[in-house]
Amino acid sequence: MRLYILRHGETVWNVQRRLQGCADIPLNENGEYLARITGRALCNVPFDYCVSSPLIRAQRTAELVLEGRDVPIYTDRRIQEIGFGEWEGLSCDQNNFEIPDPNFPEFFRNPENYIPHPSGETLESICGRTREFMNELAANKENENKTILISSHGCCVRALLRCVEEKTENFWRNCVPPNCSINVVDEKNGVFHLIEEDKIFYDRSKVLSYVG
């Protein structure tokens, strides 16, 4: 089984550095553009099917990447973004920090120490549901020789990769995955291997200079 794990395209809230979480924010014009570029780059990959987060930004990214192809798209809440609860919509930009908890930056610096809002979700929770998702894919013998597109979100992509390489000391792998980046994972006999990490198909300096 081969997995192409995709982060969704850009949204207005990405540009504004607002916490999205489970808020159902659509792609902006640039996000749709990036998804189409990515789709063209992957046009020769023989996807058997796609599993997407049910949030519109992930579903729309999958639709654009697979545009013109007869590839079924299913949804699964286990690969939905981590929930921030009442903090969703607030800016985490250091120059316009709106989150009432001054310790929130631990989410990016030392996520193992992150304490969510009572209405939010823990890192342990998202890692648990993504591991269940990955193990279920691997256990399904019908997937043995299939190529599957997974359309998800920044934190969720990193949680999925923790199932591949257990880097407890570096959850973010040094960065948030860029919009429309691809992580390629092979699986055989229940063992996952990372083949390609955070690959993008556009000029980051010209198109997504705010990512860093």
**What's the token pair of residue 199?**
């690959």
User: Please, what is the angle between helix 56-65 and helix 29-41, to 10°?
Assistant: 40
Distance CA 140, CA 127 (A): 20
How far is the CA of 177 from the CAs of 68, 122, 152, in angstroms? 26, 19, 11
Reply yes or no on whether 81 is catalytic: yes
- Of 10, 29, 67, 81, the active-site residue reads 81
User: Please, what is the angle between helix 154-162 and helix 123-139, to 10°?
Assistant: 60
Reply yes or no on whether 117 is catalytic: no
Residue type, 96: N
- Of 8, 121, 153, 187, the active-site residue reads 8
Backbone angles phi, psi at 60, to 5 degrees: -65, -40
Dihedral angle at the C-alpha atoms of 175, 179, 182, 187, nearest 10 degrees? 70
CB 130 within 8 A of CB 160: yes
Query: Would you name the residues annotated as active-site residues?
Result: 8, 81
